[in-house]
Structure 1
Amino acid sequence: MVDPRWQSRGVGTRDGEPGAAGSAEQAGLDLRLLGPVHALRGGSELVLGSARRTAVLCVLALHPGQQVSRDELVSAVWGEDPPSSATGNIYTYVSTLRQMLEPTRDRWTAGRLFSSGGGTYQLHLPPECVDVLRFESLRLTARRQRSAGDVDAEVDTVAQALRLWRGEALAGVPGPFAEGQRLRLTELRLATAERYVALLTGCGRHEEAARVLDDLVAAYPHRGDLRARLAAVPPVPGASVPPGDGGRPRGDGAADGGREIRTGGGPPAGPRVDATPLFGRDAALRRLRRGVADAVGGRGGSILVEGPAGIGRTALLTAALGSVPDGCRIGWAVGDEGARDVPLGVLRDCVGAALTSATTRVPVAAADPAGDDRPATAAGSGGDDTDRVGSDDAARMVDLVRRATAGGPLVLTVDDLHWADPTTLRAWATLSGQAAGLPLLLVGTVRSGAGPVAGWSVAEVVTLGPLDPSSAGALVRALAPRPPGPQELARLLDQAGGHPDYLRQLARHGSDPFPPAGLVAAVGAHLSPYPEELRRVLRAVAFLSAYEVRSPGTLPEGCTMAELAAATDHGVEDLGRIVAPARAAGVLASGDRLRLRHRVVVRVLHESTPAAFRVALSRQYAKRLAVVGAAPERVAALLLAGEVPFDDRTAGWLAGQVEQIAEASPQIAVAALAQAHAQHALAPDRRLTLTAWLARLLLRAGQHAAAEAGWVAARTADPELAGEMRWTAAHSHERRGDFETAAEIAHTALRERRIGPQWIDELRALLGRIRPSLPGNPTEPQLSRSGLVGGTRDAP
């Protein structure tokens, strides 16, 4: 499965790190990960050895100049269930890799490629030494060339990027990190190839475009969504995939690692593709379609579709705007983190797509709002001059769009508008204020919590919330391999909380071991925009909530701010600042308690954490909560959810708190005592005491306690405890209607005379109650299976 940390973590180098400038030895090193992994020095291939050693190299190579801890390497290579030898293996792998990559390094001198310290490792490589980093750098260069309008240069750059691929990325490399990177890089490859097809088609190079399409189909023959991904590509003679064949792009929040700005008319066929029908969005669909109709009639407007990650913003736009009336031009672009560095890049792509999507009176060359050869201004560089130039560029773009509407109605759509650069946002805000008098519809999507964006005050905001139970159930039934039963459907709906992306993953993989890789990747993608500090806090919230999510009704869901502060060692005020973005985005539910809105996210964050790390974190959090005097039932729940082994110290704490825990949450008390009873390494007296409490609480809860009570009675030398446990065992059988066994236990205890007086009386009373139900004449009872006669014969 894919650990969310590896799904969302970025790659790159840091300026000023050792080796950033490269060395003679580094310059000759070439790491090829876009296919079967190979390492070459000076053209000669190095022997990497085992698959897991290769996996370690891949993790370090894709985090050049960054410290990667041993625990992170263990998690990346083995996942949630590493062997006990994993840490030692990491030492061995790193030592062997260091010798292989730096054969001339003396054992006692610092290396140029590798550095280590404090339990972390770093690989210092220039980006040009790793093909993945070269690929990503070429994509960024192509985007800048597109912004500058240099089509020929962009075609060459995109072609260079695609030529780096030699097959499936990190082919054969094991572990969650490699799995997450394969997902991410595959989506980037497909998006880049689609851009290449669009460029070739625009240049009239149809045969080349057809070959690219054929190569995609050959490379991914089992990708059922590939036809849908190519649905918006213009017709290409000879292509093996008809452009109109397939489904529709899926909603945002899919398990992809990259996003691509598309320049073809209509919705993007990029990473987010699914043939899933749209459920529960009828009102929003009608509003968007009415907006298109109004724009065609000359009365435009601005609509912002707002909602959390994965809620289906993109899917809604695709369904609403997938087809528009003849003569209405549509442009579609997608913002991402890189878009903020390219002034007017998103809006230029959107407008350019619209102006080339149909016959237009506006020349394509006019898509450059600057209208001259001066370089684009760097967005956000500061200063009055920058603001003025940015405003001038925004005004030129506004003028271009206004002139373009003279040629017919225009629909401009920007997905994830909150990532757009400041100049784009200026122009969008101005156009939003003017759209009502033009045949112009502006449609943007924004993630909840991103804050007000361009034109918010004049736009109509359509907020997408969770699906209602009926629509959520319809979605699950449409996707599940077999129809779920009522109980299974109710469980899935409860876990997903109406979230479409989580419903899709659960429906498709409900029978797989939890959590399925696609669900882990989706959660990782949804949380990836947030800082690492916030993601760590959200994981702590998940750990503090895991037991009650798994066993509803045991405790109030979530945790208090004080509990979270104790667990994470943050101040309460500091925590308020950290979690504010998650509250605003709806990741955390509203209310006094801190609670992740979707239970499935709690389970993914908790259960996708490697087992050894999960135990260590749970023990650490539990200790901190106990020190500050948190409710003992919450401490016990943490230990249980983390499957923390009960040692003598933990068992001693439990023995001192068991009555309070049982009063607050009998279910947690029983579960904790059962776990302690199963720990054979506990001190015998401690184990005996806790097992006696387990028998009492089982009896109190109406459950069968005979086995636990009999276990204690057979081992204790205390007459009072022995009598209580004998009575507990006999009474458990009595309540089940097994009167003969109850009588045998009672007769044996009375005959042995090793019990206290109180329990003698209790057992006699029990025999009196069950005597009419025993076989034979109640006044002359026959022998039982043990050969003992019920009644007065055993009286002292």
Structure 2
Amino acid sequence: MNPLEFQLFGPFEVGTADGERLDLGPRKQRAVLALLALEPGRIVSMDRLIDELWADTAPASVIGTLQAYISHLRRVLEPGRAPRTPPTILLTREPGYLLAVEPEQIDLVRFTAGTEQGRQALSRKAYGEALDALDRALAIWRGEPLAEFSAYGFAQPVIARMTELHASATEDRFEARLALGHTGSSIADLERLVEAHPYRERLWGLLALALYRAGRQADALAALRRARARLADDLGLEPGPELRRVEQAVFDQSVTLEAPPPPKVVTAGLIAREPQLRRIADRLAEAGRGQGGVLLVAGEAGIGKTRLAQAAADAAGMRVVWGRCVEADAAPAFWPWLQALRALGERAADTVRRLSSGSGDPAADPDVALFDLHERVLGTLAAEPVMVVLDDLHSADAASLRLLRYAARELHRRPMLVLATLRPEPGREPEQLADTLAALAREPGTERLRLPPFSPRDVAAYLGGADPALAEALYRRTGGNPFYLGELLRLLTASASTRSRKRSAT
């Protein structure tokens, strides 16, 4: 597959794998490519291209003009193609042309697939999965699709369809957030949305539901009265049956308005880690209410810190992004934060670019520029409830540690939990790490969880209730370290298998 990405949301752009934006030429030439990008892998006839782009004003030379546009676009899309070598991206196929790219290279296709995935998960009441899929899809939206081509007939149905899909996906996302208990952090966003889209009754119903679950029954009824008045005054309509049902349920204080029970903490086969998982789940619930912080998961190598973080992430019920610190000096500054931001998709692209350069406004005072850079990263990550996992914090670079110190001062009032795993060792930047941990300990949202080794009883549980004497012996050999225990069992199993094969051979 060629590495090009076609972005039809917002300004039409085609990007390469290294981030370069191609110069697509004048507007009508760009429109030719946009129309072909709406039909990836399918032939678009020359007659249709002419009808869509010139309509009744096509000059006698229109075929030659179109062919020139195609020739120019081929050079732009494949600048390294040798002369007289057939093109591989923009192909001639009777009776027209074909853009030979995978559907996933078109942002509209990825957006549509993501919103459908989220809707299906929502219908199964898999709210965490739905929220994750919808977040990824909505991050693709950079603005109205085909905005620069809105005067063309081919763009109008696409704009209408995508705009409605975006609105529906936004409503699905808030339904998932409310089901996951993110009530407080949803109310302000829903208030803004009902002002922007006053005739979408589902948004009014979601706002009323959020207010009711926040203990604000009177405000919920007031919101419903506002919706009723707006529909009557502007359109002469009564609310639809679904909004009337919500209104009656609020009056009746119906149990149908109560949030579904929180998902059970999933231990994912973990032994002796239930208290830590419960505490992480509590901190995630607090983050969903806008009260985040930093949770340090500390323990020796092999104790299961990363596996605990993964189990917590699987049951988080909110977006989770990962950043893994590495000891290699070749890793760029802010490396774990860059990984976490890139997982957010296109909405974080500008922040990634700024953080990659390591500076803010070059004309500003350096300290002010660094403050602005840190605040931009925090604002991008904490725009919605999120858990950021920083794995192996002891290997973090100095710039990443300074950014964490800044974030920790703010997170107790943001919907973001940073879960950082680390070993009790000096680390890659000993002084910076020690200073950072000391600073974190003074912040109100910071907490440390220690992972102890397995006890003999835990080892027995790990073995599925094996002989206590065997569990005791393995405990003495491994010190209760889960990684060493697993490796020892693997070696014992391999040794037993080898002896069995030898006996079979004799």
For Structure 1 versus Structure 2, the TM-score category normalised by the shorter chain is 0.3 to 0.5
Scaled by the length of structure 2, the TM-score of the pair is 0.43
Scaled by the length of structure 1, the TM-score of the pair is 0.28
Larger RCO (alpha carbons 8 Å, 6+ apart): 2
